[in-house]
Structure 1
Amino acid sequence: MAIHNRVPSSPTPDKIFLEACDIYFRHCHNKPYGFFNAELFHHKATRNQVPLYLRLALIATATRYSSRSQWKERKQSTIDDYARCAWELITTSPDALGENDDVSVIQALALLAVIDATAGRRRSAWVKIGMAVRISQDLQMMLEPSTCLSEIEREERRNLFWSLYLLDRFVCCSFQRPPAIKDSDCLLNLPTYHGPGKRAASITLSGLLDDKVRNMTFRPGMFGISIALAAALGRTVKCMMNKDSNAEEPWHPGSEYGSIYSDLEFLKELAVKNSPVIAEPGRSRSPSEMPDGDREQIAHMVLSHTLYHLSHCILSHPFLLGMKLQSLSGSDRPSAWLEETRRTSLIHAGSLVTVLVEAKAAGYMPVPSVYSYCILVASTIHALHLHSSDVSISRSSAEYLKTSLYYLGEISELWENAQMMANALKAFAFQCARYSDILLHNNPRIEELTETEMTILRSVVDYWTMMDPQNPVFDLMPSDPDNFSDVLDKTHGYLTPSSPSLADEMTLGVSMPDLIVHKGSHSANVDPDILVRFPLSAMSPIASDDGKSPGWDWDTELNSMHE
């Protein structure tokens, strides 16, 4: 049976699909990608106006957030089956890639790109992101939406384009991998927040980052600030990870390095002024008590924290900085500047780990898979300082490193690439004594690194490489990497997986340790039965053993989708 013949002919909405939508909009929507306007999407869903390829892409995305124990071994294969069917429909349907102004195919491609990227199918993800960007450009979505559209449709298109921008910037945290969207082409306004008592402020990305203005009265909302920080991250990656024939001395205020640093600090201050109120004085609120809009604002606040610290980690990473200094062999390197930059990198690395660990502990489960990469980059800085001659720095770095591994292990059930990055971090840390001696020297001796060592050092800060299950870091895997935490304990026996206070002084916005901690509370928000009881299909569920709730024959359903 052809898959396109299985679309329900009745106008009655598909209850199964709507249940899956509930999972998506609770756990994924605007965290951070705002691919949809929730009201508009639900309006279309209740009228069966959502194309089947988008329904399949959304159910594949929502499947990840089921906590059913029996899914643990087959969750990824189920996701992949739905995603593959969605892709086949897009490429074979005359409507999906037709000459129309519907954004459904862009939304589906974006969802599928995330699935492919996190599963290690990098080229497939790259193609889907490229298609989504090109179709959005064909629809002129980099400009302000037409006034012929309703306000809700304009808001959806604006948020969809900027979500593509975020996705594009994240996957381009890599050497020599240029983004598909240029900042200069983005002429539409940033997303605005319309919460109670909040006055929307329309401003473009270039307007917000205009260094001649630096207006602290701007109130673009946390989504807009996240985008501005993603733009700064893109510039940081280009500055530190791409070859530049006109290399500038980074310690000069007028350099690109100095300009990026200035932008990051401006955005940090702006984020502080725009940060949402976690709770009214004297009354704490857990995430489950908050309206969806508040949770989404906090998700973007956490993203802003993370991107700010990630940008600084890349800007001052000992290896990347060493490579940049090597290209300036004829320059006098101010030793005080280099020492301060290293100190800053260590503080930002600690701050990034603290942000994500504390956000997760407080119940704001970080959703984007890119956070695994963020915490990896920060942790490589800590790994390089494991062998510091300063005992306090060595111990602190060991604690942060162990905390990072604990975090990556906990979220690996949600994102498979988190476990890959945890293993890569262990392998890298085992080799760091030599790297530390070379990179933390007063005059970094990059030329002493072998070609293999350069490849390893480049790999652990390259998101694109780290998405590859066959990345070169695993060539250095120790014989028993699972005992890595034991190695840390033997070195620093008092260490436990906790969040040190070293990073408090550098956090962006609300101090994360002040959040109310509800360990594990995020799992209470997940209905573990939804996708087992109500998978997307026109078929009928089989009876369950208890006779009360329907079960599902997944193998029969998925096999039929390939007939």
Structure 2
Amino acid sequence: MATHRRVPSASPTPDKVFLEACDVYFQHCHNKPYGFFNAKLFKIKASQNKIPLHLRLALIACATRYSSRSQWKERKQSTIDGYARGAWELIMSSPDGLDGNEDVSLIQTLAILGVIDATAGRRRGAWVKIGMAVRISQDLNMMAEPCSQLSGLEQDERRNLFWSLYLLDRFVCCSFDRPPAIKDSDCLLNLPTTHGSSKSATPLTLRQLRSQRSHDMSHRFGMFGISIGLASALGRAVKCMMTKTPNSHAPWQNDSEFLAIYSDLEYLKELAVKNSPVLAEPGQPRSQSDMQDTDREQTAHMVLSHTVYHLAHCILSHPFLLALKIQNFQHSEIPPAWLEETRATCLVHAGSLVTVLVEAKAAGYMPVPSVYSYCILLASTIHAFYLYSDSSAISASSAEYLRTALDYLGEISELWGNAQMMANALKSFVIQCSRYSDILLCHKPRLHELTQTETTILTAVVDYWTMMDPRNPVFDLAPFNADNFPDFSDTEFGYLTPPTSSALGGISSSGGGSDYSINKEGHSIDPDILLHYPVSMMSPIASEDGGSPRWDWDHELDSLVERK
């Protein structure tokens, strides 16, 4: 079979290609929300040619997603997957395997590849790579404070890298009976702190952060660290509501884990509000280009902290999950006032979560992490239950939130393919919700009336692990029929504008009001660069049926090893 190579007129050097990819990565991905690198240390290593090839390929794969070039639309994912596969095969084919030195580059590569696999629906591959990254970090004792012999930049990188793995671990474990790999009790290192601010953040461990409620609240806490605290509470909420192990106390009892998590969430939300960065003076919005890198990262973690706060509340009080929890105490008398207040609070948090993400995206402060697709899906399933409420105001509000959520998922689907998948799953789910609402929103939910198919669907739409799978059961068991989908513009549902600032606890996220579109004016990966970096990797072989070309990875990897 003949090999056909494309040769562009101007060939950038591999170094130039890699550096351009780095610019894109640090603008769009770094600390948003995962801080796998210390930017200064990375630049030093790059200038000294100390970035291993597997990490360079992983970075290019990650940066490729943020190109706005129209000619990439048809081959962007295949290019991402190609370079990610090249990075993985280099790791697996290394003579040393996973036994290297104290360098953390292997952890960084595995973490990036895990994110790429997860967003592409390759769940087991993501689970393996994230698990490997966690285990190697534990082998290097990164759950404790870094060795004092390391430079300050190295200590900062290791600390942020471990906590970024912690975030990733907690997000992919928003699932039934899927325990995280990192235990809170094993995390003895300080939380990330904010650099470059006028007032340094107080260094604390995760345990100390949770115990600070009885101390002086005037201390400054970094937003990244607060996000970690909220992710910890999220993990506890998932364990409380999405495991088969029954709790010893009913959720309405004062000594229950349910109320303990609720209390911790409110304490951490207070910290988030007090320590959030000032985004803009009234009437003087700041654009992305006007902001320093530290400002953008702080803002990204501010949005993350509020999003995780609302997500944890939505999981804690989700009508289906709450019904599952209540059935374990069916012989107890459920306090009507508690149940009514819990459901009302859940609906408020679902609306606030949608508002936070939509406003942050419209403000243009940050790209949209893939996990936010799941966050907005989960919140939307709550609104779907109330779509047919007897209250016309609640019904209209939920209809508008659903329309807004579907618009959001549609707009970011160019960036994340799983967003469109979740949008379609949400549409399929909404059609069935009149029956679900009748069963789940009564004083004593009648779970026994749900069929096995209905239970499977209800379980799937709140499970991040299931919804990452392109073959998830929602489509097979509840195929979407556009003829049955409600028209949110119809007078039956009316129009009610969602709140615009309360979701961030009084912090406005407006930054100009224009819709955010990835990379329209900023740095962009030129599609042609992947023809040159590394030069021999891009040798498409024409397919026999005349379709898209494939890549001769075995041949190309051999040549790469020779050139290293």
Compute the TM-score of the two structures, normalised by the length of structure 2.
0.90
Within 5 A, what are the aligned runs for 1:447-526? Answer: 447-478=448-479, 480-481=481-482, 487-490=487-490, 492=492, 495=495, 500-501=498-499, 504-508=501-505, 510-512=507-509, 514-520=510-516, 522-526=518-522
Structure 1 equivalent of residue 351 of structure 2: 350
* Identity in percent: 66
- Distance in 1 of aligned mates of 2:296 and 2:552: 35
CA deviation after TM superposition for structure 1 residue 287, in Å: 1.9
Structure 2 equivalent of residue 277 of structure 1: 278
* Contact 1:57-1:86 at 8 Å conserved across structures: yes
Task: Write the deviation string for residues 495-540 of structure 1: whole angstroms up to 9, x where unpaired.
Answer: 4xx9612x7445346133x543122365334334535346661428
CA deviation after TM superposition for structure 1 residue 249, in Å: 1.1
- Distance in 1 of aligned mates of 2:421 and 2:557: 30
Paired positions, count: 537
Q: 1:234 to 1:442 in 2, by over 3 A?
A: same
Aligned-partner SS, 1:210:
helix
Q: 1:506 to 1:361 in 2, by over 3 A?
A: closer
Mapped pair 1:84 → 2:85? yes
Q: 1:346 to 1:279 in 2, by over 3 A?
A: same
Task: Write the deviation string for residues 49-68 of structure 1: whole angstroms up to 9, x where unpaired.
Answer: 10000011111000100111
Within 5 A, what are the aligned runs for 1:131-530? Answer: 131-210=132-211, 213=214, 215-280=216-281, 283-478=284-479, 480-481=481-482, 487-490=487-490, 492=492, 495=495, 500-501=498-499, 504-508=501-505, 510-512=507-509, 514-520=510-516, 522-530=518-526
Structure 2 equivalent of residue 539 of structure 1: 535
- Distance in 2 of aligned mates of 1:281 and 1:212: 32
Q: 1:535 to 1:205 in 2, by over 3 A?
A: farther
CA deviation after TM superposition for structure 1 residue 451, in Å: 1.4
Structure 2 equivalent of residue 548 of structure 1: none
Q: 1:411 to 1:101 in 2, by over 3 A?
A: same
- Distance in 2 of aligned mates of 1:290 and 1:231: 29
- Distance in 1 of aligned mates of 2:356 and 2:41: 33
CA deviation after TM superposition for structure 1 residue 294, in Å: 0.3
* Contact 1:286-1:518 at 8 Å conserved across structures: no
Compute the TM-score of the two structures, normalised by the length of structure 1.
0.91
Structure 2 equivalent of residue 561 of structure 1: 556
CA deviation after TM superposition for structure 1 residue 280, in Å: 4.1
Q: 1:380 to 1:556 in 2, by over 3 A?
A: closer
- Distance in 2 of aligned mates of 1:196 and 1:557: 49
Aligned-partner SS, 1:36:
coil
Q: 1:282 to 1:372 in 2, by over 3 A?
A: closer
* Contact 1:21-1:58 at 8 Å conserved across structures: yes
Task: Write the deviation string for residues 110-151 of structure 1: whole angstroms up to 9, x where unpaired.
Answer: 000000011111011100011000000000000000001000
Q: 1:393 to 1:55 in 2, by over 3 A?
A: same
- Distance in 2 of aligned mates of 1:153 and 1:506: 37
- Distance in 1 of aligned mates of 2:215 and 2:527: 48
Q: 1:222 to 1:453 in 2, by over 3 A?
A: same
CA deviation after TM superposition for structure 1 residue 269, in Å: 0.6
* Contact 1:186-1:205 at 8 Å conserved across structures: yes
CA deviation after TM superposition for structure 1 residue 341, in Å: 0.6
Q: 1:360 to 1:557 in 2, by over 3 A?
A: farther
Amino acid across the alignment from 2:556? M
Q: 1:56 to 1:484 in 2, by over 3 A?
A: farther
Structure 2 equivalent of residue 8 of structure 1: none
Aligned-partner SS, 1:561:
helix
* Contact 1:122-1:467 at 8 Å conserved across structures: yes
* Contact 2:453-2:477 at 8 Å conserved across structures: no
* Contact 1:427-1:476 at 8 Å conserved across structures: no
* Contact 1:189-1:202 at 8 Å conserved across structures: yes
Q: 1:127 to 1:479 in 2, by over 3 A?
A: closer
* Contact 2:439-2:445 at 8 Å conserved across structures: yes
* Contact 1:271-1:304 at 8 Å conserved across structures: yes
CA deviation after TM superposition for structure 1 residue 453, in Å: 1.0
Q: Could you tell which deviates more after superposition, 30-39 or 190-199?
A: 190-199
CA RMSD between the two structures: 2.3
Q: Could you tell which deviates more after superposition, 386-395 or 553-562?
A: 553-562
Structure 2 equivalent of residue 120 of structure 1: 121
Q: Which runs of 5+ in 1 are unaligned?
A: 1-11, 543-552
- Distance in 2 of aligned mates of 1:562 and 1:451: 48
Aligned-partner SS, 2:198:
coil
Q: Could you tell which deviates more after superposition, 297-306 or 251-260?
A: 251-260
Structure 2 equivalent of residue 5 of structure 1: none
- Distance in 2 of aligned mates of 1:184 and 1:211: 17
Q: Which runs of 5+ in 2 are unaligned?
A: 1-12, 539-547, 559-564
